[in-house]
Structure 1
Amino acid sequence: MHARHNAAFTALLAAALFGATTPLAKTLLGSVSPFMVAGLFYLGSGVGLAIAILVRRLLQTAGKRKNESRIQKEEIPWLLGAIIAGGIAGPALLMLGVSLIAAATSSLLLNLEGALTAVLAWVVFRENVDVQTFLGMVSIVAGGVLLSWQSDNGSVAPGALLVAAACAAWAIDNNLTRKVSTNDAMVIACLKGLIAGSVNLAIALLLGAHLPRFSMTATAMFTGFAGYGVSLVLFIVALRNLGSARTGAYFSVAPIFGIVLSLFIWPEPPSMNFWIAAALMAVGIWLHVRERHQHTHTHESLAHNHPHKHDEHHQHAHDFEWGGIEPHTHPHRHTAITHSHAHFPDIHHRHNH
């Protein structure tokens, strides 16, 4: 279970970084257009990760660079779909929604991303689901509905609908990104940042917006590097080890970090609906954290390339000199094996039930 705990921590750290960006975006939206903020956030993530990749390559030996996992042609449509949904549509919808509702409310509504990610993973991509995880997602969705409802006129707040639409876009993104998660997480996140940032920035400029002063631009780009770039790298690593639904569930704690920060910036007491919704979402997250899945399953023969250790799923010889360093990356093949242990739908456990 040690590997699972590491994967869970990775997802939670990604959530913390992302959750903090929502109230920070709210501070920028008073003078900067939503598309400009989204563009600067993603462009900052892409540029920052590009610099990190360059530094990493300069420090790597030629042998390590040779064994790096490269995106295959058949994976490109999945990656482009993820960029369009999560890098272009998602952030623009979020920024529009955040500009219309309170930062704490928008932060808590982001829990819907985990629920929608799980629904797509279960219905479309056939990840396994049990009663406990299903009830957890029902609790999270109930909290989101309660939070969105405007009791004074019996309708759903437009800003809340926009944030919910952003969550749906990111849910599509998460499931499509899972398809390419064996590749270099930094490269995937960098490509998404550069492409999505450029598109959102171009839209903002075409709509008449102007780049803010240098200090604000730099702040937005650095925030995007941490909250979108580094967070996305960690999220992709978690996808690789936990699957879409479980990673989405852990990522659902992101609003908690956003709420704490937003209430610190704008110290207004939230409504009773806010606290009830928070309790419902907390119950949903708790149910997911308690999940344990174990049964006899068969691994089909599989060849791929990703960072790994020589655990029970990676018992293979090397055709090159290896100094025992783990984790390490190289193309390798898994032989068919049948066994039973606690597992999640990571890249080695995407089997039918």
Structure 2
Amino acid sequence: MSIVSKYAQPQHIIRELKIGKIIIFSKIQKQIGGAGFCFAILAAAFSALPNVIPKEIMESSETEIIPNPLMLVFVIYVVNSLLFSPFSKLNKKNRTKNSTENGIERSIKVKRVTLILLISLGVVEASGTLSYTIGLQETSATNASILVNSETVFAILLGIMIFKEKLSKKEVFPLILIVAGSILIPIAGDIQNNNWQLADFRTGDLFILLAGFFYCLDTFIAKKISDSIKTRHIVHVMSCTGAIMTLILMLVFEIPFHISLEDLSIMSFVGFLGIGVTMMFFVMALRLIGAVRTVLIYSTTTIFSIVYSTFILSENITILNIISVSSVLLGLIVLRNKIGSD
């Protein structure tokens, strides 16, 4: 056997091993993309619950106790702060790693920045939830689910400018479908219902738009801290901050703590799924598929809100609603295939 043949065989084996590693890595990437897609969809489905349920509670008969929007938001964050309370302490080994002075100073700085971001996340999230709940009291659930999609536009623009995340050419088409289905078509339907005249924005509409802005900021703060702290801790600190913030507002504006036991149980369940679990799944999706794609998929909250509004609030589904849903679903299918192939 010649020297060339001796070295050719190992090189051939090495080449096959490299190809095998590439195939395995590609499969893992596809699984990660699929998991991120599922987390974002579940976050959208659960997030639609607080978009509809409070509307029914705040429209109770005059003989029943009608809770203030601040009270509803307060219940949501108190429940989440209790259910997501961290039961385990930090590992002692992690505390002893930075035993040097430089290590301790650096650790303190990191913890300080993280704490500021967590508190900011809680304030922004609670402000968005409160703005949406107040706006929901003054407008329909369907209209609110349409207007809050302003978050999608803001988030995509900020994602491209701040996080330098770019949409490929193949992702532009599903983006157009999702934006058209979740924003343009519903707004066109709303204008049609008003005899093609642009109605003046009511106070409720302005609060919904404000909520969309807060939710946009929420997305990027969560993206900033998602890699440096556990998701469970993010939800816990966020909920505690939201509960303290709403409590202070209730005391300042002298809002009574009036809520029936039935409404309390309903809002506890809705708040747990719609805020706490949603935030967990949303952060997981951010880690796996990035801010731009997560927000695109999360925009299907509008579809879930319309479906819930139909079954819970007995709101009618129009042809434009069906076209809107179909457009978003088609965009999601195309986007899902793109995520899986990357």
Tell me the TM-score normalized by structure 2: 0.73
Point out the structure with the larger strand share: 1
Partner of 1:72: 111
8 Å contact 2:309–2:315 — kept in the other structure?
A: no
Shift of 1:285: 3.2
Give CA-to-partner distance per residue, 1:46-94, whole Å, 9 cap, x none. 22111xx32xx39x99779999x99733333433332222x23211111
Query: Does structure 2 conserve the Cα–Cα contact (< 8 Å) formed by 1:26 and 1:103?
Result: yes
Residue 264 of structure 1 deviates from its aligned partner by: 0.7
Rg larger in structure: 2
Q: Percent identity?
A: 20
Contact 1:16 1:254 in 2 (8 A): yes
Q: 1:93 aligns with which of 131, 140, 144?
A: 131
Residue 6 of structure 1 is aligned with which of 35, 49, 52?
Answer: 35
Change in Cα spacing, 1:193 to 1:277, as seen in structure 2 (3 Å) is same
Task: Confirm whether residue 290 of structure 1 aligns to residue 290 of structure 2.
Answer: no
TM-score after normalising by structure 1: 0.71
* d(CA) in 1 for partners of 2:250, 2:325: 34
Task: Please report the RMSD computed on the Cα atoms of aligned residues, expressed in angstroms.
Answer: 3.0
Within the candidate set 198, 212, 217, 1:154 is matched to 198
Q: For residues 250 and 231 of structure 1, what CA distance do their matches in structure 2 show?
A: 13
Q: Which amino acid aligns with 1:263?
A: T
1:246 maps onto 2:285 in alignment: no
Deviations 1:192-226 (A, max 9, x none): 11111221233234333222133322331232112
Query: Does 2:121 match 1:82?
Result: yes
Q: Are positions 1:34 and 2:69 aligned together?
A: yes
Residue type of the alignment partner of 2:33:
R
Distance in 1 (CA, whole Å) between partners of 2:340 and 2:34 is 14
Gaps of 5+ in 1: 295-341, 343-353
Query: Equivalences for 1:167-246 in 2 at 5 Å?
Result: 167-182=212-227, 183-211=229-257, 212-246=259-293
- State the shift of 1:123 in Å: 1.7
2:158 corresponds, among 117, 120, 143, to: 120
CA distance, structure 1, for counterparts of residue 162 and residue 82 of structure 2: 33
* Structure 1 residues 66 and 136, CA gap change in structure 2 (3 angstroms): farther
The Cα shift of 1:104 comes to: 3.0
2:49–2:274 CA contact under 8 A, matched in 1: yes
Specify the SS of the correspondent of 2:139: coil
Q: Does the residue aligned with 2:138 lie in a helix, a strand or coil?
A: coil
CA distance in 2, matches of 1:19, 1:65: 40
Contact kept? 2:144, 2:208, Cα under 8 Å:
yes
Paired amino acid for 1:218? S
**SS of aligned partner of 1:179:** helix
Cα deviation, residue 244, structure 1 = 1.0
Match of 2:140 in 1: 102
CA distance in 2, matches of 1:146, 1:101: 19
Report if the CA contact (8 A) 1:106-1:163 is conserved.
yes
State the one-letter code of the partner of 2:71: M
Whichever residue aligns with residue 38 of structure 1, its letter is: V
CA distance in 2, matches of 1:128, 1:281: 20
Q: Secondary structure at the match of 2:84?
A: helix
Deviations 1:126-171 (A, max 9, x none): 1122234344344444442443453423136433443232122111
Unaligned 5+ segments in structure 2 are 1-29, 60-65, 98-106
Residue pair 1:43, 1:224 contacting (<8 A) in 2 also: no
